[in-house]
Amino acid sequence: MYYIIFIFIIALDQFTKYWAIKYLKGNEPLVIIENFLEFNYVENFGAAFGILQNKRVFFVLITLIVIVLILFFLKRNIYCLNKGIKISLVMLIAGAIGNLIDRIRFGYVIDFISVKFKNGYEFPVFNIADSFIVISTILIVYMILFDKYEI
């Protein structure tokens, strides 16, 4: 089951990024919900929220280190962790690999989901991999804070 989740997340991420390149790159944003949600092609040479621009080698190395550390942690603790934490860690790794593929292939990460709020705040443009990274991180923090990560 974990392998299926892992492959599904990476495939979904890469498919949607392929779609973004094919249909959004060089075109006007595609409005889904007026003044709230649109698909807008962006090449992100930095990290979340556009920080640390043009640090490709740094991001590739950090991502590889984090993936190896999570895999090592999973291997050492596989029998004492509950299904929720295992799935969350798989989601985190898959999201990281989805963005790692972009950094290696293109030198940047393809983002395309743009959310705007009525007060004028525009959330930074993101992608499917980013979504899984954020969701899994929230789940992991919740399980650790409330001691719900062990069997």
The count of other CB atoms within 10 Å of the CB of residue 119 is: 5
17, 129, 141 from 43: Cα distances, Å: 11, 14, 29
Q: Please count the residues of the chain.
A: 151
> Which one from 13, 102, 111, 147 is the annotated catalytic residue?
111
Active site residue 102: no
> Which one from 13, 102, 130, 147 is the annotated catalytic residue?
130
Question: What whole-number distance in Å separates Cα of residue 148 and Cα of residue 41?
Answer: 38
What dihedral do alpha carbons 29, 94, 87, 115 form, nearest 10°?
Answer: -20
Active site residue 13: no
Question: What whole-number distance in Å separates Cα of residue 132 and Cα of residue 71?
Answer: 17
The residues, ordered by sequence, that sit 6+ positions from 27 with a Cβ below 8 Å of its Cβ are 41
What residues are labeled active site? 111, 130
